Amino acid sequence: MRRPLVIGNWKMHGTRKSNLDLIAQIQVGLNSNQNCDVAVCVPFVAIPEASTAVANSSLGLGSQNIANAEQGAYTGEVSASMLAEYQCKYALVGHSERRQIYLENDELVASRYDFAIKGGLIPVLCIGETDDEREQGKTFDVVEKQLSAVIEHYGVESLSKAVLAYEPVWAIGTGKTATPEQAQEVHAFIRQLIAKQNAAIAENLIILYGGSVKPDNAKELFGQADIDGGLIGGASLQADSFLAIVNAA
Ligand code: PGA
């Protein structure tokens, strides 16, 4: 049985005060017996204070990226061991904004994924097609290629230490959500692809959906057989909408 997971991706938002307020508000609303894991991926500079704020609570912490090296001359990067010192549990890798704006390619993303695992963090590998790619009927090819980059380098077994997030790029921050059927179709495809190599890993793998998840569409999306929770951008910046999505999971 896969335990649902909901992760907030705060992107480049917030102030020291608003970040701590948001964490406190989320914590108040989380049930001690909730049947779902919950985490927030905050900006790097917010991690130290967030780490103290979430200590001894059921709210997990994550980063929005992670270095593809352990230490050294990598200006601007933050390594797994640095993040682990602040009890980060998750690290997003390959978010479409990293791929599109900062030109991170499959190979770099795969290396970040590997360093997350080696450093004891859970990489949340984001994959998904653009609008054009969907229109050209390339959705399955694109997600297969993005996933293969990781499997070819680090083996299908590495997925037992990872989480996947299917995020169609055309649905991120646009208000256009994939329909539950469209999302389920791709999630099922991803799981079957992995099952061809290792059925147990495919069965246990958490695959999140991301892209304009809101309180009013979360329940239907999370009700799909292969959707195990969500990666939430805009709606994670308000405690009430984030908590409503957590409750839907
Ligand atoms: P969104 O972002 O929920 O604002 O569409 C999702 C994401 O980028 O992870």
Q: How far is the CA of 73 from the centre of ligand 1 (A)?
A: 31
pLDDT at 173 over 90: no
**pLDDT number for residue 160:** 98
Beta strands in the chain, from DSSP E residues, in sequence order: 5-9, 37-41, 59-63, 90-93, 122-127, 163-166, 207-210, 229-232
Q: How far is the CA of 233 from the centre of ligand 1 (A)?
A: 3
**Per-residue pLDDT tens for 235-247?**
999 999 999 999 9
Q: How confident is the model at residue 114 (pLDDT cuts 50, 70, 90)?
A: very high
Output the CA torsion 79→82→86→90 (10° steps). Answer: 20
pTM score:
0.97
Q: For residue 44, give Cα distances in angstroms to 1, 195, 220.
A: 33, 35, 32
**pLDDT number for residue 31:** 78
pLDDT at 204 over 80: yes
Task: Enumerate the active-site residues.
Answer: 95, 167
Ligand 1 atom closest to the CA of 126, numbered from 1: 9
pLDDT at 213 over 80: yes
**pLDDT number for residue 202:** 98
Q: What is the mean pLDDT of residues 50-75?
A: 97
DSSP 235: G
**pLDDT number for residue 72:** 98
- φ/ψ region of 28 (left if φ > 0, alpha if ψ in -120 to 50, else beta) reads alpha
> Residue 228: which of 186, 165, 175, 169 has the closest Cα?
165
Q: What is the mean pLDDT of the chain?
A: 97
Paired strand residues for 142: none
pLDDT at 9 over 80: yes
Q: How far is the CA of 142 from the centre of ligand 1 (A)?
A: 19
**pLDDT number for residue 46:** 98
Ligand 1 atom closest to the CA of 97, numbered from 1: 8
pLDDT at 78 over 80: yes
Q: What is the mean pLDDT of residues 13-30?
A: 97
Q: How far is the CA of 95 from the centre of ligand 1 (A)?
A: 10
**pLDDT number for residue 217:** 97
Tokens of 58: 């059921």
**pLDDT number for residue 151:** 98
The residue whose CA is least distant from atom 2 of ligand 1 is: 233
**pLDDT number for residue 73:** 98
Ligand 1 atom closest to the CA of 235, numbered from 1: 3
Within 6 Å (CB) of ligand 1, which residues are found? 9, 167, 172-173, 210-213, 231-235
Alpha-carbon distance of 124 to 203, in angstroms, equals 17
Tokens of 227: 């959707």
pLDDT at 177 over 90: no
Output the CA torsion 152→158→164→169 (10° steps). Answer: -30
Testing ligand 1's pocket by substitution, the residue of 232, 238, 241 carrying the most ligand atoms inside 8 A of its CB is: 232
**pLDDT number for residue 176:** 85
Ligand 1 atom closest to the CA of 236, numbered from 1: 3
**Per-residue pLDDT tens for 34-43?**
889 999 999 9
Q: What is the mean pLDDT of residues 105-117?
A: 98
Testing ligand 1's pocket by substitution, the residue of 213, 214, 245 carrying the most ligand atoms inside 8 A of its CB is: 213
3-class DSSP string for 180-203: HHHHHHHHHHHHHHHHCCCHHHHH
